[in-house]
Amino acid sequence: MKVILRESVENLGNRGDTVDVARGYARNYLIPKSLAVEATSGNRRMYSEEEKLRDVRENKVRRQAERLAEKMRKVSVTAAVQVGEEDRLFGSVTSHDIEELLRAQGFEVDRRKILLDEPLKALGVYTVPIKLHREVECAIKVWVVKK
């Protein structure tokens, strides 16, 4: 049975591929889970229309992320932290802290998109990358200073 994959399926194919599978696999697994549709001419037209709409939405989201990235490249946030002897931080500056600092400046960024390898544990200036979209990434400056 020929089916059009609506999502990528491991060891079978990528989204949009037309593949030949066993009838039972298609009817009992792929079609009920909305992973595929039967490869009829009507379904092919429907899938191509869905792809066009998905591309339009994806481009719109990407353009919004690019505009936000342009604004954020100019952003610099300052984290004032308590320090002890020899300028050692009490605690650290995490992606959650950076998220709150960005929110205070009017930028809504999910902390999971802040690509911080490990928390910042020393005073200084850091360049922190932020992944706004699958294809759009920007970097901001984070200043860690004494309170």
The pLDDT tens digits of the residues spanning 15-52 come to: 889 999 999 999 999 999 999 999 999 999 998 898 89
Work out the average pLDDT over 56-80: 93
Q: Which residues contact 24 (CB under 8 A, 6 or more apart)?
A: none
What CATH number does the domain located at 69-146 have? 3.10.430.100
| Under 8 Å between Cβ of 13 and 19 | yes
Which amino acid type is present at position 97? D
Work out the average pLDDT over 70-83: 91
Is the pLDDT at 140 greater than 90? The verdict is yes
Alpha helices in 12-125 (DSSP H): 23-25, 41-72, 95-104
> Which pLDDT score, from 0 to 100, does residue 104 have?
93
86 band by pLDDT with thresholds 50, 70 and 90:
confident
Q: What is the largest CA-CA distance in the chain?
A: 73
**Fold category of 2-65 in CATH:** Ribosomal Protein L9; domain 1 (3.40.5)
